[in-house]
């Protein structure tokens, strides 16, 4: 069978309508997880099927798509998903955040502020923020209905009692518009402040768990915390060794068998752009030469 | 100087070429044809059809070939293909009463109308490696009993006549479709049976086994196990009647389970049910046991808190495509999450060390 | 002529036209009160091109529709049946409702979801003469500070917002223009 045998953006129209209806409900009820009849996709569950279905339901032929995994455009799964849409939707692709109209991401929010007209699609493994406290779907659904989030606060507080700090560093739960507690997907908590008041539309797809949820632009999103232990979106206390940025989220790399380390931006598009503008870091070629 | 790893796309293409090459194996050995797999690996084909929820032996055989014999990978290929198929309608329910039977056994009655038919079974074979098969020995022609439409009513119906069997509700409601609607809890029996029918054979087997070992014992007898082909019919609105559009091979198992009665029901026998595409006895028997265990609530039994009684646990974990995808996704990069954990651990250790120093100073 | 009207007026390129129309719906629902253009449908009057495009994009055999008196003509029914295959139902069972604001009254007849499933609610497609003249100030998710917008009334939407996360969501359509008001928006008169 050839690619032409598949519909524009792979999914059949009935499936897209079903996903589109779920997306609109998600926007109308920010942070609420809308059940949807996720389809089997030609990539495995857990590898972005939710994000891929949301992207497929949103793409028009006029879009420019960017796909990132861990902030990078060239990680294998990002490459694979980008290729899938190049084949099935013939859309333009770009690695430049500002040029993209639809960005599918796994685990990061780009460093550059997003703008109106952009859509950020998150791949979500476990959409239920309460799942690790209560494994039963029927029970967590009831807890959301009754706004019964005490268990979550107890868990965070136990962290503080035991470790002196909240021991959640990614997939850090947030409260949306003072109503629903939401899982922001496994982004580092460093990225949490970018969830709220974002000019772009943020859509979340969990394929295996059959849930879609959304944040409209400029939505009020608060990371859960306590007065005496305010939320702290920390990152490694270093600058990027390639572009010198002191404000970006960093990957740590082990560079030799003696345990030498270097730190580089996880957002490759951001880092490359800064290097092109002439910014340098500790290990830039010029820096080494100097 | 550090250079970030680039060229993910080239690496992927090269890996896939290597995979194709490995799939073919030693070129001096003749290549397997899809027809050979379909005919000679029929039970593997059946499993792929059952868990792939698509009755097409040819495509299942192709999937097995493409997946290098990895049956879960083959099921995945079939599922991904299946979702792209347009739906023209739904068949009328198949009548397993009118099955052309090749095998039918009952563990509860020595004989019954229609008789016991042992059929092509591994049962009572001595599990000794048959080295003749290695020597390319041609199998001798068997005395086969042609499948025939013997009148073989379901054995449980006979118990039904005496009022000893729980009555079947004869609803004509269209059951929900697991592949078109999100799974919703609590799930009713049609939904549970659908999930089990396409669930992983190993998972369903282990769940069933756990009930036999005491984790929610329901004491099942195989009332009847039958294998054969059934006609699939579809109503054609323009014609006003159902026409046969093909036939499928099915394995059906009905168990009889003890039931001592509850507040609302008198003591009687209850049922567990399994129906699987193709020949799959192990799966259909397992399915019946798990079905019966999951029925505790509607039968007014106690929830003794065992895994096989827990519909959320069973249904959310029986699908091997969901399970394998999520399990294997931890191979994907998690640099970002790991980095945030690394920083957290360092911070906590630093603070703990500071606190110790402070304590010592005091 | 009549049959031709029923059979025509759908998307000429369904996959791509509906993708563009959906993006208009998505932008509208994400940014309450902002007017979007939505094109591609040519439905029979009194159905507006915008309302027609919304239905082509979102409705099908799985989404029951309520057609209010203002729009309940044979041509509209046939067009919806042919292009969407959506069953026509009473108000309380509808996923989508189409009509003028007056014809959709009382809005209390529409589903607003349940505490566990607030998404099981109706979406109203409210046909308007004109949606360009603002008469309300909106705030809430999707709006940076405030947004002025046309609404057919104020009180009903204030009442709908109070029920959040329950409630119905609205599209307002006129010609090929579209704006939306989800249940999450706070509404005040201008």
How far is the first Cα of chain C from the last one, in angstroms, to the nearest whole number? 45
Give contacts of B188 with chain A, Cβ < 8 Å. none
> Mean pLDDT throughout B278-291?
97
**pLDDT given at position C127:** 98
CB A34 within 8 A of CB A213: yes
Q: Residue A244, by phi and psi: left (phi above 0), alpha (psi -120 to 50) or beta? A: left
**pLDDT above 60 for A1:** no
- The pLDDT confidence band at residue B196, using thresholds 50, 70 and 90, is very high
User: Which residues, 6 or more positions from C144, have their beta carbon under 8 angstroms from its beta carbon?
Assistant: A197, A199, A217, A218
**pLDDT given at position B240:** 84
Local structure of B247: helix, strand or coil: strand
Q: What is the mean pLDDT of chain B?
A: 89
> Mean pLDDT throughout A255-282?
93
A234 touches chain B (CB under 8 A): yes
A115 touches chain B (CB under 8 A): no
CB A250 within 8 A of CB A265: yes
Closest chain C residue to the Cα of A17, Cα to Cα: C58
How is residue C10 annotated by DSSP?
Answer: S
CB A65 within 8 A of CB A91: yes
The structural domains of chain A, with segments of one domain joined by +, span: 3-129+172-223, 250-289
Smallest CA-to-CA distance from B256 within B133, B170, B164, B333 is with B164
- Find the CB nearest C23 among A8, A60, A215: A60
CB A239 within 8 A of CB A82: no
pLDDT in tens, A148-197: 999 999 988 888 888 888 888 999 999 999 999 999 999 999 999 999 99
**pLDDT above 60 for B2:** no
Give contacts of A18 with chain C, Cβ < 8 Å. 62
pLDDT top residue among B218 and B220: B220
pLDDT in tens, B121-151: 999 999 999 888 888 767 777 776 665 556 7
Q: What is the token pair recorded at B240?
A: 């006003």
Identify the bridge partners of residue B312 per DSSP, sorted by sequence position. none
**pLDDT above 90 for A275:** yes
**pLDDT given at position A290:** 40
Distance, CA of A168 to chain centre: 16
H-state helical runs in chain B: 8-24, 34-40, 42-52, 57-66, 71-82, 131-134, 155-161, 189-197, 201-212, 281-294, 311-317, 320-328, 335-361
Local structure of C137: helix, strand or coil: strand
Q: What is the token pair recorded at B336?
A: 């970002």
User: Which residues, 6 or more positions from A47, have their beta carbon under 8 angstroms from its beta carbon?
Assistant: A77, B325, B329, B332
Closest chain A residue to the Cα of C21, Cα to Cα: A60
User: CA Rg, chain B, in Å?
Assistant: 26
**pLDDT given at position A266:** 94
The structural domains of chain B, with segments of one domain joined by +, span: 10-82, 96-324, 333-361
Task: Name the CATH code of domain A3-129+172-223 (choices 3.40.50.11310, 3.40.720.10, 3.40.140.10, 3.30.565.10).
Answer: 3.40.50.11310
Give contacts of B180 with chain A, Cβ < 8 Å. 37
**pLDDT above 80 for A279:** yes
Mean pLDDT lowest for which of A2-16, A80-94, A108-122, B142-156? B142-156
> Mean pLDDT throughout B286-302?
93
Nearest CA distance, A263 vs chain B (angstrom): 11
**pLDDT above 90 for B84:** no
Among all chains, which residue has been given the structure tokens 């703008």?
Answer: A115
pLDDT in tens, A10-62: 999 999 999 999 999 999 999 999 999 999 899 999 999 999 999 999 999 99
**pLDDT given at position B258:** 81
Smallest CA-to-CA distance from A137 within A186, A189, A208, A195 is with A208
**pLDDT above 70 for A120:** yes
**pLDDT given at position A289:** 40
Share of chain B above pLDDT 90, in %: 56
Chains touching chain C through at least 3 C-beta pairs below 8 angstroms are A
Interface of B with A in 59-78 (CB under 8 A): 76
A264 touches chain B (CB under 8 A): yes
Share of chain C above pLDDT 90, in %: 95
- Find the CB nearest B181 among A37, A171, A266: A37
CB-neighbour burial class of residue C5 (10 A; exposed 0-12, middle 13-18, buried 19+): middle
Distances (CA, A) of C181 to A11, B146, C106, C189: 29, 67, 18, 14
Could you give the ipTM of this predicted complex? 0.97
| Site from A76, A81, A95 to mutate, B interface, most B CB atoms within 10 angstroms | A76
- The pLDDT confidence band at residue B6, using thresholds 50, 70 and 90, is low
Q: What kind and span of H or E run contains A213?
A: strand A211-215
Q: What is the token pair recorded at A91?
A: 């859309």
Q: What is the mean pLDDT of chain A?
A: 93
Strongest mean pLDDT among B36-50, B109-123, B226-240: B36-50
> Mean pLDDT throughout B234-238?
85
A136 touches chain B (CB under 8 A): yes
**pLDDT above 80 for B358:** yes
Distance, CA of C102 to chain centre: 14
- The pLDDT confidence band at residue C26, using thresholds 50, 70 and 90, is very high
**pLDDT above 50 for A2:** no
Number of separate domains in chain C: 1
Distances (CA, A) of C116 to A31, B84, C120, C165: 13, 31, 9, 10
CB B195 within 8 A of CB B183: yes
Helix axes A13-28, C14-30, angle to 10 degrees: 0
CB A249 within 8 A of CB A267: yes
- Measure the CA–CA gap between A170 and A108, rounded to whole angstroms: 10
Give contacts of B86 with chain A, Cβ < 8 Å. 12
Expressed as residue numbers, the domain containing C7 is 2-189
CB C68 within 8 A of CB C99: yes
Among all chains, which residue has been given the structure tokens 């009647």?
Answer: B241
Share of chain C above pLDDT 70, in %: 99
> Mean pLDDT throughout B169-190?
86
Q: Which domain CATH number covers C146?
A: 3.40.50.11310
Residues of A involved in catalysis: 31, 240, 243, 265, 271
B186 touches chain A (CB under 8 A): yes
**pLDDT given at position A134:** 92
Q: What kind and span of H or E run contains A85?
A: helix A76-89
Q: What is the token pair recorded at A242?
A: 């390639």
- Measure the CA–CA gap between A272 and B48, rounded to whole angstroms: 47
B303 touches chain A (CB under 8 A): no
Chains touching chain B through at least 3 C-beta pairs below 8 angstroms are A
Mean pLDDT lowest for which of A141-145, B22-26, B113-117, C2-6? C2-6
Residue A76 to residue B321, Cβ atoms within 8 A: no
The answer, yes or no, to whether the previous bond of B313 is cis (omega within 30 of 0) is no
């Amino acid at each position: 069978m050839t690619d032409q045998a598949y519909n524009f953006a792979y999914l059949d129209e009935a499936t897209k309508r079903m996903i589109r209806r779920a997306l609109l409900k998600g926007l109308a009820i920010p942070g609420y997880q809308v059940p949807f009849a996720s389809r089997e996709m030609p990539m495995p569950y857990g590898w972005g099927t939710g994000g891929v279905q949301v992207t497929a339901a949103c793409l028009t032929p006029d879009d420019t798509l960017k796909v990132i995994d861990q902030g990078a455009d060239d990680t294998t799964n990002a490459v694979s998903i980008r290729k899938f849409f190049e084949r099935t939707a013939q859309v333009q692709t770009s690695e430049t955040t500002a040029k993209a109209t639809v960005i599918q991401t796994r685990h990061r929010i780009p460093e550059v502020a997003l703008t109106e007209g952009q859509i950020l699609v998150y791949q979500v493994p476990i959409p239920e923020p309460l799942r690790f406290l209560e494994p039963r779907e029927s029970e967590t659904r009831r807890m959301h209905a009754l706004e019964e989030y005490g268990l979550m606060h107890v868990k965070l507080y136990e962290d503080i009692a035991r470790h002196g700090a909240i021991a959640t560093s990614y997939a850090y739960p947030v409260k949306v518009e003072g109503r629903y507690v939401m899982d922001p997907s496994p982004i580092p908590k460093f990225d949490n402040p970018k969830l709220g008041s974002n000019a772009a539309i943020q859509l979340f797809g969990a394929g295996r768990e059959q849930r879609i949820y959304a944040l409209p632009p400029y939505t009020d999103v608060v990371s859960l915390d306590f007065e005496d232990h305010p939320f702290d979106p920390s990152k490694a206390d270093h600058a990027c060794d390639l572009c010198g940025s002191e404000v970006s989220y960093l990957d740590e790399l082990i560079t030799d068998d003696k345990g030498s380390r270097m730190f580089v931006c996880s957002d490759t598009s951001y880092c490359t752009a800064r290097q092109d503008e002439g910014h340098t870091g500790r290990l830039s070629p010029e820096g080494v030469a100097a | 100087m550090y250079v970030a790893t680039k060229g993910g796309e080239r690496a992927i293409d090269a890996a896939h070429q290597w995979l194709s090459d490995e799939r073919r194996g030693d070129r001096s050995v003749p290549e397997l044809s899809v027809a050979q797999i379909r005919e000679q690996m029929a039970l593997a084909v059946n499993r792929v059809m059952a868990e792939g929820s698509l009755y097409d032996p040819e495509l299942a055989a192709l999937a097995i070939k493409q997946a290098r014999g990895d049956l879960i990978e083959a099921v995945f290929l079939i599922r991904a293909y299946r979702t792209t198929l347009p739906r023209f309608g739904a068949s009328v329910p198949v009548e397993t009463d009118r099955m052309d039977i090749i095998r039918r056994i009952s563990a509860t009655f020595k004989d019954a109308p229609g008789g016991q038919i042992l059929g092509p079974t591994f049962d009572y074979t001595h599990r000794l490696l048959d080295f003749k098969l290695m020597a390319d020995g041609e199998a001798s022609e068997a005395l086969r009993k042609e499948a025939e439409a013997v009148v073989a009513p379901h054995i449980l119906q006979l118990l039904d006549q005496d009022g000893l069997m729980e009555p079947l509700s004869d609803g004509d409601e269209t059951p929900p479709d697991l592949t078109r609607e999100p799974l919703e809890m609590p799930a009713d029996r049609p939904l549970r049976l659908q999930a089990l029918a396409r669930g992983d054979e190993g998972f369903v087997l282990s769940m069933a086994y756990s009930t036999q070992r005491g984790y929610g014992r329901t004491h099942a007898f195989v009332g009847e196990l039958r294998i054969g082909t059934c006609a699939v019919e579809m109503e054609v609105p323009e014609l006003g009647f159902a026409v046969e559009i093909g036939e499928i091979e099915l394995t059906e198992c009905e168990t009889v389970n003890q039931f001592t009665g509850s507040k609302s029901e008198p003591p009687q026998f209850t049922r567990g049910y399994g129906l699987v595409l193709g020949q799959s006895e192990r799966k259909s028997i397992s399915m019946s046991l798990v079905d019966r265990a999951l029925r505790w609530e509607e039968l007014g039994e106690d929830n003794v808190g065992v895994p096989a009684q827990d519909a959320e646990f069973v249904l959310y974990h029986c699908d091997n495509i969901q399970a394998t995808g999520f399990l294997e996704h931890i191979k994907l990069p998690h640099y970002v999450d790991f980095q945030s954990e690394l920083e957290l651990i360092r911070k906590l250790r630093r603070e703990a060390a500071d606190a110790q120093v402070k304590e010592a100073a005091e | 002529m009549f049959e031709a009207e029923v059979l025509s007026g759908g998307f000429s390129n369904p996959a791509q036209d509906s993708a563009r129309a959906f993006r208009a719906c998505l932008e509208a629902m994400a940014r309450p009160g902002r007017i979007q253009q939505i094109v591609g449908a040519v439905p029979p009057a009194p159905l507006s091109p915008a309302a027609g495009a919304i239905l082509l994009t979102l409705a099908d055999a799985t989404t029951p529709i309520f057609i209010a008196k203002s729009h309940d003509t044979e041509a509209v029914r046939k067009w919806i049946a042919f292009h969407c295959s959506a069953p026509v139902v009473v108000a309380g069972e509808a996923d989508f409702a189409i009509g003028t604001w007056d014809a959709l009254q009382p809005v209390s007849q529409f589903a607003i979801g349940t505490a566990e499933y607030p998404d099981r609610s109706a979406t109203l497609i409210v046909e308007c003469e004109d949606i360009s003249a603002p008469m309300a100030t909106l705030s809430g998710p999707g709006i940076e500070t405030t947004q002025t917008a046309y609404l057919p009334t104020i009180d009903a939407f204030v009442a709908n917002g109070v029920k959040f996360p329950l409630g119905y969501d609205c599209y307002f359509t006129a010609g090929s223009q579209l704006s939306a008001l989800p249940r999450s928006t706070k509404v005040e008169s201008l």
